[in-house]
Amino acid sequence: MSHRKFGSTVRRLLRGAWSILWAGLRGAVPQVIAILAAFLVGAIVLVATGHSPIDAYSSVLAGAFGDSYHIGQTLTQATPIIFTSLAFLFAFKCGLFNIGAEGQLLIGGFAAAVVGISFAGLPVYIHLPLALAAGAGGGALWGFIPGVLKAKFDAHEVITTMMLSYVALYVTSYMVNYPFLEPGSWVPQTVFVAPSAELPRILPPTQLSGSIVVALVMVSLTAYVLERTTLGYEVRAIGLNPSAAQSGGINVKRGMILALLISGALAGLGGAGEILGVHRRFIDGFSPGYGWDGLAVALIGGLNPFGVVLASILFGALRSGGMVMNQVLGVPLDVVFLVQALVVLFVAAPRLIRYLLKRGGYRW
Amino acid sequence: MSTAVKMVNITKTFPGITANDNVNFEVKKGEVHGLLGENGAGKTVLMNILYGLYKPDKGQIFVNEKEVKIDNSAVAIKLGIGMVHQHFMLVPSLTVAENIVLGREPKKYELLLDIKKTLKDIEALSARYRLDVDPKASVCDLPVGVQQRVEILKALFRGAEILILDEPTSVLTPQEVEGLFDAIRALTGQGKSVIFISHKLKEVCAICDRITVLKKGKVVGTVEKKETTPDALAEMMVGREVIVALKKEHVEPGKPVLKVQGLNALNDRKLPALRDVDFEVHEYEILGLAGVEGNGQTELVEVLTGVRELRSGNILFDGKPVTHASPHERIGMGISCVPEDRQKNGLIMDFSVLENLMLGRHDRPPFATKWFRLNLSKATGFADRVIQEYSIKAPGTGTLARHLSGGTQQKVIVAREFSRKPRVIIASQPTRGLDVGATEYVREKLVEMRDQGCAVLLISADLDEIFALSDRIAVIYEGRIVAVKEAGQTNELELGLLMTGGKR
Q: Which CATH number goes with the domain that contains B202?
A: 3.40.50.300
B491 and B448 belong to one structural domain: yes
| Cα(B489)–Cα(B469) distance, integer angstroms | 14
For chain B, percent of residues with pLDDT exceeding 90: 52
Cα A90 vs. chain centroid, distance in angstroms? Answer: 11
Is residue B89 scored above 50 in pLDDT?
A: yes
B31 and B167 belong to one structural domain: yes
The 10s digit of each residue's pLDDT in B198-257 is 877 788 888 999 999 998 889 999 999 888 888 788 788 776 544 456 778 888 899 999
Chain A interface includes B259 (CB < 8 A): no
Average pLDDT over residues B11-40: 87
> What is the model's pLDDT at position B365?
83
B285 and B431 belong to one structural domain: yes
Predicted TM-score (pTM) of this structure: 0.76
Does the residue B19 lie in any domain? yes
Write out the E strands in B216-343. Answer: 218-224, 256-266, 272-282, 285-290, 312-317, 320-321, 335-338
> What is the model's pLDDT at position A357?
62
pLDDT level of residue A359 (50, 70, 90 thresholds): low
pLDDT level of residue B491 (50, 70, 90 thresholds): confident
User: Could you give the number of structural domains in chain B?
Assistant: 3
The 10s digit of each residue's pLDDT in B394-445 is 888 988 998 887 788 999 999 999 999 999 999 999 987 676 678 888 999 9
Chain A interface includes B200 (CB < 8 A): no
For residue A177, CA distances in Å to A104, A191, A287 come to 19, 12, 16
Does the residue B452 lie in any domain? yes
B297 and B180 belong to one structural domain: no
The 10s digit of each residue's pLDDT in B373-396 is 898 889 999 999 999 999 888 888
Cα A156 vs. chain centroid, distance in angstroms? Answer: 22
pLDDT level of residue A32 (50, 70, 90 thresholds): confident
- Provide Rg for chain B, Cα atoms: 25
The long-range contacts involving B132-138, CB below 8 angstroms and separated by at least 24 positions, are B133/B96, B134/B96, B135/B95, B135/B96, B135/B97, B135/B100, B136/B95, B136/B96, B136/B97, B137/B95, B137/B96, B138/B92, B138/B93, B138/B94, B138/B95, B138/B96
Nearest Cα to Cα of residue B423 among B453, B389, B443, B459: B453
Q: Quick check: B348 and A244 CB within 8 A?
A: yes
Is residue A260 scored above 50 in pLDDT?
A: yes
B446 and B414 belong to one structural domain: no
Cβ-based neighbours of A350, under 8 Å, separated by 6 or more:
none
Structural domain of B415: 349-420
> What is the model's pLDDT at position A3?
62
Does the residue B427 lie in any domain? yes
Per-residue burial over A62-76, b if 16 or more Cβ lie within 10 Å, else e, is: ebbebeeebbbbbbb
B47 and B119 belong to one structural domain: yes
Is residue A263 scored above 90 in pLDDT?
A: yes
B464 and B402 belong to one structural domain: no
Last residue of a domain, one of B214, B238, B262: B238
Does the residue B313 lie in any domain? yes
Q: Say which of B345, B368, B373 has its CB closest to residue A243.
A: B345
Please give the mean pLDDT across all residues of chain A: 90
Structural domains of chain A in order of their starting residue, each with its CATH number: 30-357 (1.10.3470)
Does the residue B199 lie in any domain? yes
Nearest Cα to Cα of residue B125 among B107, B100, B148: B100
Chain B nearest C-alpha distance from A222 (Å): 13
For chain A, percent of residues with pLDDT exceeding 90: 71
> What is the model's pLDDT at position A4?
63
Q: Identify the burial level of B423 via C-beta atoms within 10 angstroms of its C-beta, where 0-12 means exposed, 13-18 middle and 19 or more buried.
A: middle
B216 and B180 belong to one structural domain: yes
Last residue of a domain, one of B190, B221, B238: B238
B314 and B414 belong to one structural domain: no
Residue, of B67 and B19, whose pLDDT is higher: B67
* Three-class secondary structure of residue A74 per DSSP: helix
Does the residue B341 lie in any domain? no
| Cα(B59)–Cα(B77) distance, integer angstroms | 20
Q: Which of A107-116, B34-43, B259-268 has the lowest mean pLDDT?
A: B34-43
Does the residue B344 lie in any domain? no
Q: Quick check: A230 and B363 CB within 8 A?
A: yes
Does the residue B503 lie in any domain? yes
Q: Quick check: B374 and A240 CB within 8 A?
A: no
> Which residues of B are less than 8 Å from A251 in CB distance?
326, 328
Last residue of a domain, one of B182, B205, B238: B238
The 10s digit of each residue's pLDDT in A191-216 is 999 999 999 999 989 999 999 999 99
> What is the model's pLDDT at position B165?
94
A238 with A252: CB under 8 angstroms?
A: yes
pLDDT level of residue A312 (50, 70, 90 thresholds): very high
